[in-house]
C-alpha cells in the first residue's frame, strides 16, 4: 500500500484553499505532479475530463474554473499566464483520463477509486439510517437528476421532440413493468391527471426506476447509439433486464408494489411541519 499512501500524499500536498475555505488544485501544478513535461500536452487530458463531467450531468464550470495569474520570469519581471482551478472531482476525472502507462497516473487512479468507494460506503451507511419517507425523498431527487442525464443521452441519440421522449420513456416503463406504459401505471395507481407517477412510488419502486434510468443513459452513451428507434429498443431492453434481475432475486414486480398513502410532496410538507421554526 506504500504507493497508495504516496499518491495520497502527492495529491493532498498540492491542495490549496480559497478565502471561502473551499479546496482546489491548480492545473499547471497538477500537470507537473502527473509528470507531463509540457503543459500543452496536459490540456487534451483536461478537455477529456471536461467532456466526462458534462456527460455525467455536472456543470463543468463548477469544477473547472479558468483563471489568469501573474508569475515571475527569469529577468525578475512578471507575465500573465492562464491556469485552471480544479475541484477534487475535476482532479478525479483528469486522472481517470490520463495516461495509465505513467506510474503516477496508475497510482492516482487507484487512489481516487478507493476514495470514491469510501464515499459510496459512507453514503450507503447514511441511507441505511433513513426511514421510508426520508429514503423516498432522497431517491426521488436522485431520479430527477438522472432523468436529466437520461434525457441528454437520449437527445444525443436522436430523441429530439417532447413526443419522441415520451415514447422513449414508455419503452423503459414497458420493459420494467411487463408491458405497462406511463398511462397504464398512472391509471393503475388511480392518480389525478396532473399527478406524476414517480411521486407516488415507494422506495423499492423508485430504486428500480433509478437503476433503469442510470443504466439506460450509460448504455446509450457507452455504445454511441444513434437513431430514436434504436434508442427506444435500448431503453426497453434495459427495463426488461432490470425486471429480470428483480425476478431472479425473488423480489416483487414493480406493478405489484403498493402505492404509498402520501405523495412525495405530501411527505415533504409533513417533514417541514415537523421541523422547528427558526
Give the pLDDT confidence of 158-215 residue by residue, as tens digits. Answer: 999 999 999 999 999 999 999 999 999 999 999 999 999 999 999 999 999 999 998 8
Q: How confident is the model at residue 98 (pLDDT cuts 50, 70, 90)?
A: confident
Q: Is residue 189 in some structural domain?
A: yes
Taking a C-beta distance cutoff of 8 angstroms, is the pair 133, 273 a contact?
A: no
Q: Which residues partner with 23 through β-bridges?
A: 17
Q: Where are the beta strands (DSSP E) in 16-56?
A: 16-17, 23-26
**Residue 153 and residue 260 in one domain:** yes
Distance CA 206, CA 185 (A): 13
Q: Which residue has the cell 436529466?
A: 148
Report the pLDDT value the prediction gives residue 59, as an integer from 0 to 100.
83
Q: Give the CA radius of gyration of the chain.
A: 23
**Residue 216 and residue 133 in one domain:** yes
Distance CA 71, CA 100 (A): 31
**Residue 108 and residue 144 in one domain:** no
**Residue 216 and residue 107 in one domain:** no
Mean pLDDT, residues 3-10? 60
Q: What is the pLDDT of residues 143-170, one digit of tens each?
A: 998 899 899 999 999 999 999 999 999 9
Mean pLDDT, residues 122-144? 81
Question: In this structure, are strands 16-17 and 23-26 parallel, antiparallel, or unpaired?
Answer: antiparallel
Report the pLDDT value the prediction gives residue 130, as an integer from 0 to 100.
79
Distance CA 95, CA 104 (A): 9
Q: Which of 73, 84, 86 is nearest to 39 (CA)?
A: 84
Taking a C-beta distance cutoff of 8 angstroms, is the pair 181, 173 a contact?
A: yes
Mean pLDDT, residues 257-266? 94
Q: Above 60 in pLDDT, residue 120?
A: no
Which residues constitute the domain of residue 205? 128-264
Distance CA 82, CA 67 (A): 6
Report the pLDDT value the prediction gives residue 1, as an integer from 0 to 100.
43
Considering 84, 117, 150, which residue would you say is the last residue of a domain?
Answer: 117
Maximum Cα–Cα distance for the chain, whole Å? 78
Q: Which of 51, 43, 50, 46 is nearest to 221 (CA)?
A: 51
**Residue 135 and residue 256 in one domain:** yes
Considering 86, 117, 148, which residue would you say is the last residue of a domain?
Answer: 117
Total count of domains within the chain: 2
Classify residue 46 as exposed, middle or buried by CB count within 10 Å of its CB (0-12, 13-18, 19+). buried
Q: Above 50 in pLDDT, residue 278?
A: no
Classify residue 222 as exposed, middle or buried by CB count within 10 Å of its CB (0-12, 13-18, 19+). exposed
Q: Which residue has the cell 482532479?
A: 91
Q: Which residue has the cell 398513502?
A: 261
**Residue 44 and residue 78 in one domain:** yes
Dihedral, CA of residue 211, residue 118, residue 92 and residue 231, to nearest 10? -10
**Residue 104 and residue 22 in one domain:** yes
Q: Above 50 in pLDDT, residue 9?
A: yes
A 10 A CB-CB count for 125 gives: 9
Distance separating the N- and C-terminal Cα atoms of the chain: 49
Q: Is residue 274 in some structural domain?
A: no
Average pLDDT across the chain, whole number = 86
Q: Is residue 210 in some structural domain?
A: yes
Distance CA 247, CA 255 (A): 12
Q: Is residue 269 in some structural domain?
A: no
Distance CA 4, CA 35 (A): 17
Q: Is residue 253 in some structural domain?
A: yes
Q: Is residue 271 in some structural domain?
A: no
Q: What is the pLDDT of residues 227-254, one digit of tens each?
A: 999 999 999 999 999 999 999 888 899 9
The DSSP call for residue 213 is H
**Residue 147 and residue 96 in one domain:** no
Q: How confident is the model at residue 221 (pLDDT cuts 50, 70, 90)?
A: confident
Q: How confident is the model at residue 114 (pLDDT cuts 50, 70, 90)?
A: low
Taking a C-beta distance cutoff of 8 angstroms, is the pair 202, 262 a contact?
A: no
Q: Is residue 113 in some structural domain?
A: yes
Amino acid at each position: 500500500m506504500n504507493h497508495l499512501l504516496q499518491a495520497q500524499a502527492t495529491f493532498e500536498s498540492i491542495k490549496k484553499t480559497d478565502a471561502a475555505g473551499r479546496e482546489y488544485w491548480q492545473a499547471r501544478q497538477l500537470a507537473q505532479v502527473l509528470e507531463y513535461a509540457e503543459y500543452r500536452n496536459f490540456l487534451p487530458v483536461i478537455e477529456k475530463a471536461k467532456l466526462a463531467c458534462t456527460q455525467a450531468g455536472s456543470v463543468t464550470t463548477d469544477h473547472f474554473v479558468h483563471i489568469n495569474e501573474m508569475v515571475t520570469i527569469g529577468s525578475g519581471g512578471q507575465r500573465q499566464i492562464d491556469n485552471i482551478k480544479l475541484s477534487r472531482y475535476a482532479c478525479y476525472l483528469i486522472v481517470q483520463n490520463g495516461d495509465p502507462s505513467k506510474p503516477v497516473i496508475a497510482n492516482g487512479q487507484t487512489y481516487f477509486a478507493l476514495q470514491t468507494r469510501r464515499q459510496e460506503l459512507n453514503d450507503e451507511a447514511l441511507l441505511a439510517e433513513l426511514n421510508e419517507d426520508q429514503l423516498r425523498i432522497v431517491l426521488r431527487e436522485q431520479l430527477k437528476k438522472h432523468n436529466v442525464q437520461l434525457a441528454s443521452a437520449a437527445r444525443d441519440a436522436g430523441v429530439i421532440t417532447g413526443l419522441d421522449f415520451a415514447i422513449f420513456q414508455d419503452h423503459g416503463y414497458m420493459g420494467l413493468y411487463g408491458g405497462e406504459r406511463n398511462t397504464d401505471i398512472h391509471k393503475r395507481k388511480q392518480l389525478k391527471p396532473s399527478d406524476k407517477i414517480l411521486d407516488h412510488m415507494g422506495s423499492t419502486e423508485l430504486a428500480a426506476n433509478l437503476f433503469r434510468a442510470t443504466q439506460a443513459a450509460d448504455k446509450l452513451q457507452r455504445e454511441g447509439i444513434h437513431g430514436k428507434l434504436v434508442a427506444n429498443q435500448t431503453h426497453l431492453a434495459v427495463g426488461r433486464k432490470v425486471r429480470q434481475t428483480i425476478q431472479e432475486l425473488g423480489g416483487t414486480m414493480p406493478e405489484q408494489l403498493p402505492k404509498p398513502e402520501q405523495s412525495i410532496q405530501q411527505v415533504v410538507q409533513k417533514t417541514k411541519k415537523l421541523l422547528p421554526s427558526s
